[in-house]
């Protein structure tokens, strides 16, 4: 699961902890944090679509004009998808490359949405909701109701709960000061000793029968890691059912965790790192 690396990339691009999480809350609702996500109107799978674009079976012109949202931010308009393809081609990476997509997001923000970019760079916890909604309306520009906005903000809050711990751990590791309002030390995983827990994931234990945003985060991570084997087009629905429990057990076995089917602190840690 790539939430940590996406967070690090957005922070390196100048966004404050809260600003980065405002963007991530939107990414979560747009694509479940999956850089190869293609809009559901497409009739082929995310991986098939991505491979077809990468190897040329879907031409650049088709990709740009098919009107399917794609990637972390679900880029849809032709000129924005064209820039996505050009950046991937210039770097010789897949259109699903996570770092490239983060860079594209940051490039668009600083170049085309300067006021929003400044808001995200200076955002504090108190401004998290406003920043989440501003990114949604200005960068994503969807026609969404209040319920959708609430889901984006709830996801941003969840990411921020973890971000606070990241910033505190980093500041302690670097022996420097700084809060979580944009002036903390930059993320530097290299300062953490091998085998030392880097962060504590601020998500409660989950088990079969649970529902909600945390379950959807879990499902997105399991799907991205390939643990819905044999389950075609499994939906990220926020419901912890039989398929999700099976996927959790597979992941726990593969990662040398106790195979309980319950997502405890150790399991979250494996998924985030």
Answer whether residue 221 is part of any domain: yes
Write down the pLDDT at residue 1.
Answer: 45
Answer whether residue 225 is part of any domain: yes
SS3 211: strand
**Residues of 231-252 as b/e, b for ≥16 C-beta within 10 angstroms?**
eeeeebebbbeebbbbbbbbbb
SS (H, E, C) 44-107: CCHHHHHHHHHCCCCCHHHHHHCCCCECCCCECCHHHHHHHHHHHHHHCCCCCCHHHHHHHHHH
Cβ-Cβ contacts under 8 Å for 193 (sequence gap 6 or more) = none
Answer whether residue 238 is part of any domain: yes
Write down the pLDDT at residue 200.
Answer: 45
Write down the pLDDT at residue 190.
Answer: 34
Write down the pLDDT at residue 88.
Answer: 97
**What is the domain extent for residue 240?**
213-272
Write down the pLDDT at residue 213.
Answer: 64
- For the entire predicted model, the pTM comes to 0.66
**How many distinct structural domains can be found in the chain?**
1
Answer whether residue 10 is part of any domain: no
Write down the pLDDT at residue 235.
Answer: 66
Answer whether residue 57 is part of any domain: no
Rounded CA separation 26/201 (Å): 20
In contact, 31 and 74? CB cutoff 8 Å: yes
Answer whether residue 244 is part of any domain: yes
Residues in the chain, overall count: 273
Answer whether residue 251 is part of any domain: yes
Rounded CA separation 252/260 (Å): 8
Query: Could you report the average pLDDT of every consecutive run of 10 residues in the chain (273 residues)?
Result: 81 93 94 92 94 97 96 96 97 95 96 96 95 94 72 90 73 48 36 36 76 73 70 68 90 89 81 58
Write down the pLDDT at residue 153.
Answer: 92
Q: Return the CATH number at 222.
A: 1.10.101
- Lookup: tokens for 71: 């990637």
Write down the pLDDT at residue 239.
Answer: 84
Answer whether residue 234 is part of any domain: yes
Write down the pLDDT at residue 45.
Answer: 94
Q: Give the HSE-up count for residue 65: Cα atoms under 13 Å, Cβ half-sphere.
A: 4
């Amino acid at each position: 699961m790539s939430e940590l690396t996406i967070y690090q990339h957005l922070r390196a691009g100048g966004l404050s902890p809260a600003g980065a999480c405002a963007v991530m809350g939107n990414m979560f609702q747009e694509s479940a944090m999956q850089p190869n996500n293609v809009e559901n109107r497409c009739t082929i799978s995310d991986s098939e679509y991505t491979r077809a674009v990468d190897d040329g079976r879907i031409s650049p012109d088709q990709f740009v004009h098919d009107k399917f949202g794609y990637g972390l931010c679900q880029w849809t308009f032709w000129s924005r998808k064209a820039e996505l393809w050009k950046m991937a081609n210039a770097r010789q990476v897949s259109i699903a490359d996570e770092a490239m997509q983060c860079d594209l997001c940051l490039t668009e923000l600083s170049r085309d949405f300067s006021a929003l970019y400044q808001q995200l760079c200076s955002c504090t916890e108190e401004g998290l909701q406003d920043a989440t909604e501003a990114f949604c309306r200005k960068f994503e520009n969807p026609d969404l109701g209040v319920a959708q906005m609430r889901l984006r903000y709830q996801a941003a809050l969840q990411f921020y709960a973890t971000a606070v711990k990241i910033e505190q751990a980093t500041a302690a590791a670097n022996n420097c000061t700084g809060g979580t309002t944009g002036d903390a030390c930059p993320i530097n995983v290299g300062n953490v000793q091998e085998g030392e827990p880097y962060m504590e994931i601020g998500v409660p234990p989950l088990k079969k029968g649970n529902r909600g945003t945390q379950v959807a985060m879990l499902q997105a991570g399991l799907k991205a890691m390939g643990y819905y084997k044999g389950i075609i087009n499994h939906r990220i629905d926020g419901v912890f059912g039989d398929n999700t429990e099976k996927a959790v057990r597979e992941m726990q076995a593969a990662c040398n965790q106790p195979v309980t089917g319950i997502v405890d602190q150790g399991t979250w840690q494996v998924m985030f790192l």
